[in-house]
Chain A
């Protein structure tokens, strides 16, 4: 095609709106977050913005609440992603079989995924309600407990209860992605395995699992970032309590920014979390590049 300077400018003009928006709404705030993390910046004292160096980071490392939040973030992310991966794999394996109504089931599992996170939080708050939640009703009916248990007000069960809501919200993504990977496996491989006398379990371990491993890996990395970032559900369900027992690092950031209006410290906390998550992102990119090279013989 013609390559006059005007023609060469066309793709850049087409990209300009999108990248201008990204510059203003992603890049600038990111730079601002780094700046804020090194300054004293409180909404109610706008005139007192002094450079404080790494004081916010020192404050974080000396704060037991920070370390509790780090620990909770680990449990929150690992527990949620691992459970979603497991449930998603089971569901995908069932949906990969043919049975009457398969399309309907495949469509139905999308419902939790399109449900707003706050609605998920409300649904599970209601189910876990300490006085008349349905879970207490069921457990009492089964004779497992003899009086209602305050799931969200107990420091051992608050975090797992919030995790349950998030697991329900996010499992369809895992199930459908793994299903797509399963459907890409050639049927001949399984036929060959059967001819060789391999049972279903061996076929799963030697054919299915290795072939869907790339998808499982990508899902784990992407969803770890997403889940660690997520604050809606614990914010609404437990507010991080009781005490700090369900406070994740992301939730702590939000509380500091919203309640204490301390933007400097909040930015420092979110930078610490982001550093770890960008580590996950780097792994993801390395993997993509490695696979791209593998694809080209």
Chain B
């Protein structure tokens, strides 16, 4: 038997590239995880692995800080934003997909414009409005803002899924006596479910990660979300407990990592589909 063929130089360089990509994507994250698993006394030492593995940074964060509260707040805001965001985006996407009406192009263009609209312009006036309405330090301020900002991207993403379902299907159901709304619920929605789930995942990631509006809309710990809470741990530069900060960073990302494990296929598809290619 011939010995197994060695890798050609071209194949070897591709594999080398793949290893480099993995290292580039994961190394910063791994360093944070490793730093979160060592005792505070070991935190500045130039060694890769902890001398003593410990979860004390995690117990400290969960017992002695407002972090559990931030986690709860983020969960409430993200869950509600998903529901409200879908409630706004699903009917809109269905209308664009199934009806031809006056002003359709203009409205679609408006959506595209909102997608590229510089959000920095909205922070100050929206903060001033929320302040006037007494909505500072409420979940509502964040939920309303996030679900609206998610609309353009979500409509575009859902539109792709709705357009892929042949209109004959719901017309057949309607011939059988179902009203359009029933036909939508019984025929279209189940078929578009993968798209709806993918859209929900995107809303979740957006709402969970959002920082700037949350920073302006919250003044205390009661409704503060994780990203803003995490940043407050860094205030007072000198005495930053880096072990605890790293543990908080890991906890903040954990739900996203789970979602990403479960839904990575939809994520990749949504990412490339939702990029507004015209």
- Chain A residues proximal to chain B, CB less than 8 Å: 8, 10-12, 14-15, 17-19, 21-22, 24-26, 28-30, 32-33, 36, 41, 43, 87, 90-91, 94-95, 97, 99, 101-102, 105-119, 121-127, 129, 131-132, 134, 137, 140-141, 168, 172-173, 176-177, 180, 218, 222, 225, 228-229, 231-232, 236, 250, 253-254, 257-258, 263, 266-267, 270-271, 273-274, 277-278, 280-281, 284-285, 288, 291-292
Known A-B contacts A111-B29, A263-B128; the reply to A118 vs B118 at CB < 8 A is no
Of B50-58, B187-195, B204-212, the one contacting chain A is B204-212
Contact of B124 among A113, A118, A270, A281 (CB under 8 A): A270
In the bound complex, CA of A141 to CA of B47 (Å) = 11
| B121 touching A274, Cβ below 8 Å | yes
A289 CB to closest chain B CB (Å) equals: 8
B interface, by DSSP: helix, strand, loop or mixed? helix
Distance from A231 Cβ to chain B, minimum over Cβ atoms (Å): 6
Inter-chain contacts of A292 with B (CB < 8 A): 278
Interface size on B, residues (CB 8 A): 94
Whether the Cβ atoms of A281 and B145 lie closer than 8 Å is no
Whether A270 lies near B31 (C-beta < 8 A) is: no
Chain A hits for B277, CB < 8 A: 218
- Known A11-B95, A257-B124, A267-B124; judge A22-B209 contact (CB<8 A): no
A32 and B128 form a contact (CB under 8 A): yes
In B87-129, the 8 Å CB interface with A consists of: 87-89, 91-92, 94-96, 98-99, 101, 104, 107, 109-114, 116-129
CB-defined contacts of B131 to chain A, threshold 8 Å:
43
User: Judging by beta carbons under 8 Å apart, are B252 and A109 in contact?
Assistant: no
Task: Pick the contact of B121: A11, A33, A112 (CB < 8 A).
Answer: A33
Residues of A within 8 A of B227 (CB): 116-119, 232
In the complex, per-residue mask of B227-268: 1 if CB is within 8 Å of any chain A CB, else 0? 110110010000000100110110011001101100010011
Residue-by-residue, is B3-38 near A (CB-CB < 8 Å gives 1, otherwise 0)? 000000001001101100110111011011001000
CA distance A250 to B226 in the complex (A): 22
Question: A257-B124, A263-B128, A285-B112 in contact; A274/B118 too (CB < 8 A)?
Answer: yes
Q: Beyond the given A30-B117, A115-B256, A126-B246, please list 13 additional residue pairs across the A-B interface where CB-CB is below 8 A.
A: A10-B180, A21-B88, A91-B21, A105-B22, A110-B264, A117-B209, A119-B249, A137-B46, A176-B272, A222-B116, A253-B120, A253-B124, A277-B118
Task: Report yes or no: B230 in contact with A118, Cβ–Cβ below 8 A.
Answer: yes
B75 within 8 A of A: no
Given A114-B205, A123-B249, A137-B46, does the pair A99, B15 have CB atoms closer than 8 Å? Answer: yes
Partner of B208, one of A33, A105, A116: A116
Residue ID in chain B nearest A236 by CB atoms: B231
Assess whether B271 is interfacial by the CB under 8 Å rule.
Answer: yes
- Can you name the residue of chain A whose Cβ is closest to the Cβ of B20? A94
Residues of B within 8 A of A15 (CB): 91-92, 95-96, 107
Q: Is B173's beta carbon under 8 Å from chain A?
A: no
A114 with B242: in contact, given A91-B21, A108-B22, A291-B278 (CB under 8 Å)?
no
Q: Which residue of B lies closest to A19 (CB)?
A: B107
Q: Which of A26, A114, A228, A232 contacts B212 (CB 8 A)?
A: A232
Contact B127 A257, beta carbon cutoff 8 Å: yes
Residues of B within 8 A of A274 (CB): 118, 120-121
Query: How far apart sit A280 and B116, CA to CA, in the bound complex (Å)?
Result: 9
Question: B151 near A: Cβ within 8 Å?
Answer: yes
Expressed in whole angstroms, the Cα–Cα distance for A294 and B46 within the complex equals 58
B129 touches A12 (CB 8 A): no
Which B residues are CB-close (under 8 A) to A21?
A: 88, 144, 147-148, 151
- Asked if A229 and B119 sit within 8 Å, CB to CB, the answer is yes
Q: Determine which residue in A115, A277, A284 has the highest number of CB atoms from chain B within 10 A of its CB, and name it.
A: A115
Q: How far is the CB of A9 from chain B (nearest CB, A)?
A: 9
Tell me which residues from 148 to 173 in chain B have a Cβ below 8 Å from any Cβ of chain A: 148-149, 151, 155
Given contacts A176-B268, A292-B278, contact A229 B230 (CB under 8 A): no
Q: Which of B144, B231, B272, B276 contacts A180 (CB 8 A)?
A: B272
Q: How far is the CA of A231 from the CA of B124 in the complex (A)?
A: 14
Distance A66 CA – B223 CA, assembled complex (angstroms):
34
Q: Which of A10, A30, A115 contacts B122 (CB 8 A)?
A: A30
Complex Cα distance A114/B206, Å? 9
Chain A residues, CB < 8 A from B124: 33, 36, 253, 257, 263, 266-267, 270
B227, chain A: closest CB distance, angstroms? 4
Contact of A107 (CB < 8 Å), options: B11, B92, B121, B264: B264
Contact of A11 among B29, B101, B155 (CB under 8 A): B101
